[in-house]
Amino acid sequence: MLVLGIESSCDETGAAIVKDGRYLLSNVVASQIEIHNRYGGVVPEVASRQQLSSIIPVIETALDNAACSWEEIDAVGATFGPGLAGSLLVGLTVGKALALAKNLPFVGVNHLEAHIYANWLRKGTLPPEKDSAGAPWDFNEGDPMFPLICLVVSGAHSELVLVKGHGQYELLGRTRDDAAGEAFDKVARVLGLEYPGGPSIEKAALRAEEELLQQKKPVELARSAYRLPRAWLRGTYDFSFSGLKTAMLHLAEGATANQSPPKTYEAGKNSGTVNRQRSQYTHIGMQAAQKGSTNVALLAASFQEAVVDVLAVKTRLAAQEYHVKQVVLAGGVAANLSLRARLEQELLPLRIRLSYPPVEFCTDNAAMIASAAYFHLCQGEQSGLDLDVQPGLSLPFRKSE
Amino acid sequence: MLLLALDTSTRQASLAICTEDELLGEYTWHVGNNHSVELLDRIQRIVVECNKTMQEIDVVAVATGPGSFNGVRVAVSAAKALAFSLQKPIVGVSTLDIIAAQQQHWHGPICSIIEAGRSELYAACYTFDKTSNSNGDIIYSMYQLSDYLLLSPQQLASYLQEQAGTWFGVPGKRELPVFLYCGEISPASRQALFAHMQEECAFVNSLQSTRKASVLAMLALQRLHDGKEDNPMRLEPLYLRRPSITTSTRKQPLLGGISKRPPGHSPTGPSETEREEGALRH
């Protein structure tokens, strides 16, 4: 079955054609990052206008790349939430209009669920030669195995979800304030790094580690250059990143207030603020400060470590409690290599499989929308043409038994 | 030739299906903010009621605004998707043109208006010429006198009084024609305009200036006849107002260490500037 997926929830316009929810025929994404970089975040009205300009050319390119005609398409899927209302409206309306024009079944897709289904997509694997009609829709060789724990981490969401089967989600924990990706974006802005914050903080952290490597020092020092708080919220699987964000803000403010932080301990005697700041430096941070560098790379490395630490440990704890054999990552932050490596480290001794989508399926894309739409269609679910956008949609959680 | 016309520019929506000679069906209704929910459903219904199929549609016409940003985008998205997938031409018509064309019998200047919020108005000025051809058919031709404007009611009134002289002024005569105001005009705007123009203006009552998609269809057919069809890839709404972007001082970077990019500088050269201008297009 060929599904045309359309994604327009935020600042990426995507169209993709996916066979049987797994095999990619084409995946086109038009990003607006350069435009929004200027403002340090997405401007909703600008994003909506750009969505409308890009969407038809993107769909045409997806059809061309897949070398596929309308007659071969079996269904249309489009994101209906969560996201920015104006952006969602464009993709959803286009999706519904295409389904109407071509008399195809239409499925509205939950963007969060689609992020989870990104784990079902194969990269570079062609659809099986023989007709795949023989294989059952719900399991093919290489699919993730239920039950599994999914860590959804993106610019708007940080959730730990227990997935017992297709469409069966149970919420274990979620962020109480900022999402992980949001924290990355905001901290990047404070540090003067580019939007989106995730990749630029990761790059800066790598630079810090390379620098230490050249000095023949252990790279781990970069990650503990600053003492940053971690909100463990013990007894729950919830997250909180706003305290960490504030700590970063104070550190950065301290660094600008006196361009070269205390050279000696005497310097800190007179003022309370310098004292407080000093307490947040560990030895390596202090050394870097003395050399007069602005420490952006070290700050980024320490911040990334603090986020990854909490995410990885809590995911491991959940995996142990619910005895799952597999953990999957979803969402833009799943592209972070440090998070992947750390989770691998946590889960490997427990013989729990970790899988994550290739980077291009972690960030917003339409292939995952097509995949999620396929699994809904296989369960006999379709949407009407009167489907409305739901900017505040969450995963369709079931109460735990 | 079967034409489908869509207009969801404001809280008032309309859609029609017609040929050159005959209106087959038309819905005009109060849609509120439910543009995407109601439009596609109604298209499906009207096509069935007219005993047609989507594949039989030959042209798609759409109102391109100005109006509610999201409202305009719904009709334009739907029209672009339909025209693209059915591989049929698309014709975009400004919502202000549609409002004016409904008053084409008026002898004199017509100013069509849509509330733009923040005490401002979208407006444009037109005049119509009545001629008849050899078969005795009356033909109205529309002339647009002004640009598409975004002004406060006071500014609009002064602008019209200023321009009227150059548009209609007869040397030695100080008398000016009466402007006909039509469209979606709030009581407050009406009062402000009336206070400035007094006997130089007349208002069409709002029920009478409800936009009908059959008028959009008529304008679209004329444009199609003149060879002025649009490209479904490139058709853009007429926004008139730029997105409002507020920059907060809190959002300025505190440390400038790594970012080599001063604000406003583009590393990719003209392509980015171009894209940005595209995004901020009026």
pLDDT, residue B275, reads: 45
Please check whether residue A64 touches B, CB under 8 A. no
pLDDT, residue A271, reads: 44
What is d(CA B241, CA A42) in angstroms, rounded to the nearest whole number?
18
Please check whether residue B264 touches A, CB under 8 A. yes
By percentage, how much of chain A surpasses pLDDT 70?
86
User: For A117-131, A376-390, B204-218, which range has the lowest pLDDT when averaged over its residues?
Assistant: A117-131
Taking the CA of residue B56 and the nearest CA in chain A, the distance in Å comes to 10
Instruction: Please report residues of B whose CB lies closer than 8 A to that of A49.
Output: 239, 243, 279-281
Which residues 300-359 in chain A show a CB within 8 A of chain B? none
pLDDT, residue B264, reads: 42
User: For A238-242, A306-310, B136-140, which range has the lowest pLDDT when averaged over its residues?
Assistant: B136-140
Mean pLDDT to the nearest integer, A49-77: 96
Please check whether residue A102 touches B, CB under 8 A. yes
Residue from the list A56, A189, A388 with its beta carbon closest to the beta carbon of B253:
A189
Residue A29: count of CB within 10 angstroms of its CB: 19
For B275, name the nearest residue in chain A, comparing CA atoms only.
Answer: A35
Mutant choice from A42, A48, A49, A296 vs B, greatest count of B C-beta within 10 A: A49
Say whether pLDDT at A68 is over 50: yes
Instruction: Please report residues of B whose CB lies closer than 8 A to that of A201.
Output: none
Instruction: Please report residues of A whose CB lies closer than 8 A to that of B280.
Output: 46, 49
pLDDT, residue B127, reads: 94
Phi/psi at B264 (5° precision): 90, -10
Question: What is the pTM assigned to this prediction?
Answer: 0.87
Please check whether residue B243 touches A, CB under 8 A. yes
Instruction: Please report residues of A whose CB lies closer than 8 A to that of B272.
Output: 34-35
Q: Do B43 and A384 touch (CB under 8 A)?
A: no
Instruction: Please report residues of A whose CB lies closer than 8 A to that of B84.
Output: 56, 59-60
Question: Three-class SS string for chain A?
Answer: CEEEEEECCCCEEEEEEEECCCEEEEEEEEECHHHHHCCCCCCHHHHHHHHHHHHHHHHHHHHHHCCCCHHHCCEEEEEEECCCHHHHHHHHHHHHHHHHHHCCCEEEEEHHHHHHHHHHCECCCCCCCCCHHHCCCCCCCCCCCCCEEEEEECCCCEEEEEEEECCEEEEEEEECCCCHHHHHHHHHHHHCCCCCHHHHHHHHHHHHHHHHHHCCCCCHHHHCCECCCCCCCCCCCCECCHHHHHHHHHHHHHHHHCCCCCCCCHHHCCCHHHHHHHHHECHHHHHHHHCCCCCHHHHHHHHHHHHHHHHHHHHHHHHHHCCCCEEEEECHHHHCHHHHHHHHHHHHHHCCEEECCCHHHHCCCCHHHHHHHHHHHHCCCCCCCCCCCCCCCCCCECCCC
Residue from the list B69, B236, B280 with its beta carbon closest to the beta carbon of A48:
B69
Mean pLDDT to the nearest integer, B50-77: 97
Answer positive or negative: Cα dihedral of A287, A291, A297, A299: positive
Complete domains list, chain A, with CATH = 1-123+360-401 (3.30.420.40), 143-357 (3.30.420.40)
Please check whether residue A68 touches B, CB under 8 A. no
Please check whether residue A67 touches B, CB under 8 A. no
Mean pLDDT to the nearest integer, A195-215: 89
Compare B163 and B150 and report the one with higher pLDDT. Answer: B150
Mean pLDDT to the nearest integer, B95-121: 95
Instruction: Please report residues of B whose CB lies closer than 8 A to that of A190.
Output: 253-255
Calculate the CA B212 to chain-centre distance. Answer: 13
Residue A275: count of CB within 10 angstroms of its CB: 13
Say whether pLDDT at A280 is over 70: no
What count of CB pairs under 8 Å joins A to B? 166
What is d(CA A191, CA A295) in angstroms, rounded to the nearest whole number?
9
How confident is residue A275, by pLDDT bands cut at 50, 70 and 90? Answer: very low
**β-sheet with A353-355: strand ranges across:** A168-174, A158-165, A148-153, A326-330, A353-355
Predicted-complex ipTM score? 0.88
Instruction: Please report residues of B whose CB lies closer than 8 A to that of A41.
Output: 251
Q: Do B266 and A34 touch (CB under 8 A)?
A: yes
Q: Do B245 and A43 touch (CB under 8 A)?
A: yes
Q: What are the tens digits of pLDDT across the range B65-96?
A: 999 999 999 999 999 999 999 999 999 999 99
Which residues 231-290 in chain A show a CB within 8 A of chain B? 249, 252-253, 255-256
How confident is residue B254, by pLDDT bands cut at 50, 70 and 90? Answer: low
pLDDT, residue B244, reads: 79
What is d(CA A170, CA A312) in angstroms, rounded to the nearest whole number?
19
Per-chain mean pLDDT for chain B? 87
pLDDT, residue A289, reads: 55
Please check whether residue B88 touches A, CB under 8 A. no
How confident is residue A260, by pLDDT bands cut at 50, 70 and 90? Answer: very low
Residues in chain A: 401
Q: What are the tens digits of pLDDT across the range A119-151?
A: 999 987 776 665 555 678 888 888 999 999 999
pLDDT, residue A227, reads: 84
pLDDT, residue A268, reads: 40
Q: A295: left (phi > 0), else alpha (psi -120 to 50), else beta? A: left
For B262, name the nearest residue in chain A, comparing CA atoms only.
Answer: A38
How confident is residue A94, by pLDDT bands cut at 50, 70 and 90? Answer: very high
Strand pairing category for A12-19 and A23-31: antiparallel
- Measuring CA to CA, which residue among B226, B136, B154 is closest to residue B192? B154
How confident is residue B266, by pLDDT bands cut at 50, 70 and 90? Answer: very low
Instruction: Please report residues of B whose CB lies closer than 8 A to that of A56.
Output: 80-81, 84, 232-233
- Measuring CA to CA, which residue among A74, A135, A82 is closest to residue A107? A74
Please check whether residue B165 touches A, CB under 8 A. no
Residue A61: count of CB within 10 angstroms of its CB: 15
Mean pLDDT to the nearest integer, B115-143: 92
Please check whether residue A93 touches B, CB under 8 A. yes
Question: Three-class SS string for chain B?
Answer: CCEEEEECCCCEEEEEEECCCCEEEEEEEECCCCHHHHHHHHHHHHHHHCCCCHHHCCEEEEECCCCCHHHHHHHHHHHHHHHHHHCCCEEEECHHHHHHHCCCCCCCCEEEEEEEECCEEEEEEEEEEEEECCCCCEEEEEEECCCCEEECHHHHHHHHHHHHHHHHCCCCCCCCCCEEEEEECCHHHHHHHHHHHHHHEEECCCCCCCCCHHHHHHHHHHHHHCCCCECCCCCCCCCCCCCCCCCCHHHCCCCCCCCCCCCCCCCCCHHHHHHHHHHCCC
Q: Do A48 and B257 touch (CB under 8 A)?
A: no
How confident is residue A294, by pLDDT bands cut at 50, 70 and 90? Answer: low
For A40, name the nearest residue in chain B, comparing CA atoms only.
Answer: B251
Mean pLDDT to the nearest integer, A181-186: 92
Q: Do B77 and A48 touch (CB under 8 A)?
A: no
What is d(CA A306, CA A242) in angstroms, rounded to the nearest whole number?
12
Say whether pLDDT at A372 is over 50: yes
For A208, name the nearest residue in chain B, comparing CA atoms only.
Answer: B258
Please check whether residue A145 touches B, CB under 8 A. no
Mean pLDDT to the nearest integer, B179-194: 94
pLDDT, residue B173, reads: 59
Instruction: Please report residues of B whose CB lies closer than 8 A to that of A299.
Output: 255
Q: What are the tens digits of pLDDT across the range B230-241?
A: 999 999 999 999
Compare A291 and B57 and report the one with higher pLDDT. Answer: B57
pLDDT, residue B259, reads: 40
Query: How far are the Cα atoms of B70, B95, B212, B215 from residue B114, in angstroms, in the given order?
Result: 15, 9, 15, 17
Compare A270 and B185 and report the one with higher pLDDT. Answer: B185
Residue from the list B39, B82, B243 with its beta carbon closest to the beta carbon of A46:
B243
pLDDT, residue B260, reads: 39
By percentage, how much of chain A surpasses pLDDT 90?
66
Q: A216: left (phi > 0), else alpha (psi -120 to 50), else beta? A: left
Residue partners of A341: CB distance under 8 A and separation at least 6? none
Bond from prior residue into A261 cis (ω within 30 degrees of 0): no
Please check whether residue B70 touches A, CB under 8 A. yes
The two structure tokens encoding residue A96: 């519904």
- Which neighbouring-strand residues pair with B150? B122
Taking the CA of residue B113 and the nearest CA in chain A, the distance in Å comes to 23
What is d(CA B193, CA B16) in angstroms, rounded to the nearest whole number?
33
A227, A280 contact by CB (below 8 A): yes
Per-chain mean pLDDT for chain A? 87
pLDDT, residue A131, reads: 54
Please check whether residue A63 touches B, CB under 8 A. no
Q: Do A296 and B237 touch (CB under 8 A)?
A: no
Say whether pLDDT at B276 is over 60: no
Please check whether residue B80 touches A, CB under 8 A. yes
Complete domains list, chain B, with CATH = 3-94+211-225 (3.30.420.40), 103-203 (3.30.420)
The two structure tokens encoding residue A384: 């009407």
pLDDT, residue A265, reads: 42
Say whether pLDDT at A261 is over 70: no
pLDDT, residue A301, reads: 92
Q: Do A296 and B255 touch (CB under 8 A)?
A: yes
A302, A283 contact by CB (below 8 A): no
B13, B28 contact by CB (below 8 A): yes
Say whether pLDDT at A20 is over 70: yes
pLDDT, residue A140, reads: 85
- Which neighbouring-strand residues pair with B184? B114
B254-278 as b/e: b if 16+ CB within 10 A: bbbbbbeeeeeebeeeeebeebbee
